Amino acid sequence: MSKVQNPQTLRGKVALWSSVALAFLVAILLFLILVKPAGTAPPNPIAVETTTATGDCDVPEGDTSSKPAMPKDLRWEADKGWTWPVSDTYGPTKTKDGYGVCFARSPLGAALAAVSMNASANLVDARKTVELYTLDSKGKEVLLEKTPNEPAATSPASFAGFVVDSFSNDEAAITLVIATPASSSGYTGLPLTFRWIDGDWKLKVIDDGSMFVGQPPVPVKGGFVEWSGSNG
């Protein structure tokens, strides 16, 4: 099953990014900015269980539509001012070295993997997050060379929802939507593509170490799936 494709292959240069968008994205995923080519007391674990993941995760698929319904058990984890959605049913359902893993093979599962990845990068360790969540590739090696062994957070981001740009059993392209007053619409987007590898989602990275090319999209309210669930 395939959805409308996001124009992630459009060429762009980092110089086109506005200073406002750049500063905001630093708070979301600092190592994303660090690896953009020039000119073109310890935190709590990000997890819901203490079981170590091995092999296939065996997580129910759930809704595979472009606008999946929120699961009844969706709730918000919180640490150091950051909050992010999790589901005991759709992910993360296990942990690996203190990081949440094992997500549903669905758009919702990929979106939950995206927010867990971002929370881990900003609160735990950016480099270890890349090592765990990223698909092995030339781009991953470039990314690791420029990613620090420390949390990447500057200030908490507000995860508003996500857009399903495309989906198949083996690949999910989603845009993580973040609320920000710096945007004309009140939101900015972080396009991410995941591949299904060994029973879980892994982030695809471009050969230059970037997650996407071009300018971040500017989503509008009503044009994305909003997170909902209980806080705390």
Instruction: Write out the chain's pLDDT in tens, 232 residues.
Output: 444 444 333 333 222 223 233 333 433 443 343 334 433 333 333 333 333 344 568 899 999 999 999 999 999 999 999 999 999 999 999 999 999 999 999 999 999 999 999 999 999 999 999 999 999 999 999 999 999 888 876 678 899 999 999 999 999 999 999 999 989 999 999 999 999 999 999 999 999 999 998 889 999 999 999 998 655 4
Distance, in Å, from the CA atom of 130 to the CA atom of 120, rounded to the nearest integer, reads 10
Res 22: pLDDT: 34
Res 149: pLDDT: 85
Residue 112 lies in a domain: yes
Q: How many domains, the chain?
A: 1
Distance, in Å, from the CA atom of 51 to the CA atom of 91, rounded to the nearest integer, reads 13
Query: What is the extent of the structural domain holding 163?
Result: 14-53+60-231
Residue 5 lies in a domain: no
Res 151: pLDDT: 84
Neighbours of 187 (CB within 10 A): 21
**Position of tokens 């099953």?**
1
Residue 150 lies in a domain: yes
Q: Is the dihedral of CA 150, 212, 180, 92 positive or negative?
A: negative
Q: What is the pTM of this model?
A: 0.79
Residue 9 lies in a domain: no
End-to-end Cα, the chain, rounded Å: 35
Residue 221 lies in a domain: yes
Calculate the CA 110 to chain-centre distance: 8
| Cis amide linkage into residue 92, ω under 30° from 0 | yes
**Position of tokens 């071009």?**
214
Residue 2 lies in a domain: no
H or E element at residue 22: helix 19-28
Distance, in Å, from the CA atom of 164 to the CA atom of 191, rounded to the nearest integer, reads 10
H or E element at residue 28: helix 19-28
Residue 3 lies in a domain: no
Asked if residues 191 and 212 have their Cβ atoms less than 8 Å apart, the reply is yes
- Strand, coil or helix: 5: coil
